[in-house]
């Protein structure tokens, strides 16, 4: 039996996003930068900072998209 038009579709697929990939890359960059610092390679400290920033942006973006989609379905 088909669903009435006024019922919300509960089986919605979320939109694709680059946030999970950016988060993984940010974590990898932060770890790589910290490892380089432990090996006394001073030229790579900015890699950790950039990785932390990228991770923060990815988390903010990912959670923001989830909240936006959740609010539009309310």
| Residue-level pLDDT at 38 | 79
Q: For 10-35, what is each residue's pLDDT tens digit?
A: 667 777 889 999 999 999 999 998 88
By C-alpha distance, which of 54, 61, 66 is closest to 24? 54
Length of the chain: 74
Q: Angle 19-61-20 (CA atoms, 0-180°, nearest 5)?
A: 15
* Sequence spans of domains, the chain: 19-72
**32, two tokens:** 């790589």
The pTM for the full model equals: 0.74
Q: For 57-68, what is each residue's pLDDT tens digit?
A: 999 999 998 888
Residue 9 has pLDDT above 70, yes or no: no
Quick one: average pLDDT of 35-47? Answer: 80
Residue 6 has pLDDT above 80, yes or no: no
Task: Give the number of other Cβ atoms within 10 Å of residue 55's Cβ.
Answer: 19
């Amino acid at each position: 039996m088909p669903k009435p038009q006024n019922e919300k579709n509960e089986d919605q697929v979320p939109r694709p996003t680059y946030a999970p990939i950016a988060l993984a890359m940010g974590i990898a960059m932060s770890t790589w930068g910290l490892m380089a610092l432990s090996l006394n390679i001073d030229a790579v400290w900015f890699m950790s900072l950039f990785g932390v920033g990228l991770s923060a942006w990815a988390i903010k973006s990912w959670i923001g998209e989830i909240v936006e989609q959740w609010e539009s379905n309310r």
